[in-house]
Structure 1
Amino acid sequence: MSGNQRVLVVDDEAGIRDLMRTALRFHGFDAAVAGTGAEALLEARRHRPDLVLLDVMLPDLDGFEVCRMLRADGDDVPVIFLTARDAPADTVTGLSIGGDDYVTKPFSIEALVARVRAVLRRAAPHPPDEVLRVADVELDSATWTVHRAGTEVDLSPTEFRLLAHLMRNAGRVVSRAELMRDVWGWGEHGNPQVVETYISYLRRKLDPLGPPLIRTRRGVGYALRP
């Protein structure tokens, strides 16, 4: 249920803030607002929201910098970026620094609420006793740790969820559409480039510790195979 889930709306336009706050409350969320990056950081640190809707273009710090500062604090709160800029490079930047989704303006309030729910669902922890092992990789969802050949691998929450999904389906080719649905919570309109970007992040972290594990089936998807 979303009744106790708190969403922080960060936008410098008062009209948009009020619209999103009203819509979120209508759909059962507890909504708070901030108009600047500094206010957003203060609110996030004081009240620990369950999700942040974060405008990229703010009058002081931009949304990317706010997200970087939250992550530097060790805060893994899910972040959905809101922006009028829809260049692929901006999308990849937002997600690569620790964002969870990227919505361009103008947007449908109903669609935005659906994205909020999808991100919150996938941010929920997996069963605490789940330990996955494939070849020399071990993933422990109780401690959110990953080791390869005995060496701990530092992964972001999205990288962790992506690796866990590949490990649960080891040996099978997982399509990009399935990854967008089950890891990112997107439908058919998700961005396949984001999947490719995160696969490359995983390879850069896992491959130096042993033989390559993630195989690409061109035009189809990816498989984790020893």
Structure 2
Amino acid sequence: MANRVLIVDDDPAIRKLLEKVMQSNDLSCTLAENGATALTMLKNHTFDIVLLDISLGDMEGFEIIQHMRAQGITTPVMVISGRNEDFDSLYGLSLGADDYITKPFRPVVVGAKVKAILRRNKQLEEEQKTVIERGEFTLDTTTMRFYKNGEEIILSYKESALFSMFLHHPNQIFTKDMIYEQIWGTDVAVDDNAIMVYINRLRGKIEDDSKKPTHIVTVRGIGYRFIP
């Protein structure tokens, strides 16, 4: 499902331009021409990001940010405003805006910034989950207990740290240096054999056949990848 964007601006030309930019990035748009309409939309619908002008005629965009944050709505907000004073940008960011762009803007830059904010927000939401599910594997982050098809997998401290890293980042390739930093710390010298030992131990506990692993696979010359 496409991410949903709420575009709030009293200028119909700007609304149309932003709508085209968002649609070109495969994002679904809802348009609001004033603050009152935006507040109604935010009350009745969920969005993944809000693109917000400050001067809206019936109210200032700052009021919308204040309302959202007071109501516990954590949806990212990108302010796109013709007001380019430092005070305005600093004030907007202090209220909880995630970015502040001044008009006129480059459409390609706005599109890239929106996608970057959405990626960061998705990653943050993923990290804050108490239960992470990856295929047949489950991690309860509050207890650091691991399960495969509902049956608990008993892991050592280092095995738990290693498997947690993989579960949080499925399909990502981890080099040996990256694993050093994540599991042992950057100031600790660990040889390749130590990593191989823990990878093999983990495979022995999660793979159907540790000699023919299908979940923790070796990327030759680079490192390892977890495939759910």
TM-score by length of structure 2 reads 0.54
Give the unaligned 5+ runs of structure 2: 131-140, 143-181, 187-228
Change (3 A) 1:72 1:128: closer
Where does residue 82 of structure 1 map in the other structure? 80
Alignment of structure 1 residues 148-159 onto 2, 5 Å: none
Aligned residue type for 2:109: A
Q: CA deviation at 1:61?
A: 1.3
Q: CA deviation at 1:52?
A: 0.2
Where does residue 46 of structure 1 map in the other structure? 44
Name the CA distance, whole Å, in 1 between partners of 2:80 and 2:126.
28
Name the CA distance, whole Å, in 1 between partners of 2:128 and 2:109.
31
C-alpha deviations, 1:101-157, integer Å up to 9, x for none?
A: 000000011100111011111112243479xxxxxxxxxx97xxxxxxxxxxxxxxx
User: What is the CA RMSD across the aligned residues, in angstroms?
Assistant: 2.2
The one of 120, 135, 138 aligned to 2:118: 120
What is the SS of the residue equivalent to 1:127? helix
Name the CA distance, whole Å, in 2 between partners of 1:70 and 1:111.
25
What is the SS of the residue equivalent to 1:80? strand
Change (3 A) 1:111 1:75: same
Change (3 A) 1:88 1:4: same
Q: CA deviation at 1:74?
A: 1.0
1:105 to 2:103 alignment: yes
What is the SS of the residue equivalent to 2:96? coil
Name the CA distance, whole Å, in 2 between partners of 1:19 and 1:34.
14
Change (3 A) 1:126 1:28: same
Name the CA distance, whole Å, in 1 between partners of 2:33 and 2:14.
10
Aligned residue type for 1:57: S
Name the CA distance, whole Å, in 1 between partners of 2:97 and 2:127.
24
What is the SS of the residue equivalent to 2:55? coil
Name the CA distance, whole Å, in 1 between partners of 2:129 and 2:61.
36
What is the SS of the residue equivalent to 2:51? strand
Aligned residue type for 1:9: I
C-alpha deviations, 1:140-182, integer Å up to 9, x for none?
A: x97xxxxxxxxxxxxxxxxxxxxxxxxx9xxx9xxxxxxxxxx
Aligned residue type for 1:127: E
Name the CA distance, whole Å, in 1 between partners of 2:128 and 2:97.
24
Where does residue 226 of structure 2 map in the other structure? none
Where does residue 34 of structure 2 map in the other structure? 36
Name the CA distance, whole Å, in 1 between partners of 2:24 and 2:45.
21
Greater radius of gyration (CA): 2
1:55 to 2:53 alignment: yes
Name the CA distance, whole Å, in 2 between partners of 1:77 and 1:70.
8
TM-score by length of structure 1 reads 0.55
The one of 19, 22, 37 aligned to 1:24: 22
Name the CA distance, whole Å, in 2 between partners of 1:44 and 1:127.
25
Name the CA distance, whole Å, in 2 between partners of 1:20 and 1:129.
32
What is the SS of the residue equivalent to 2:50? strand
Name the CA distance, whole Å, in 2 between partners of 1:63 and 1:128.
29
Name the CA distance, whole Å, in 1 between partners of 2:32 and 2:86.
27
Name the CA distance, whole Å, in 1 between partners of 2:8 and 2:129.
36
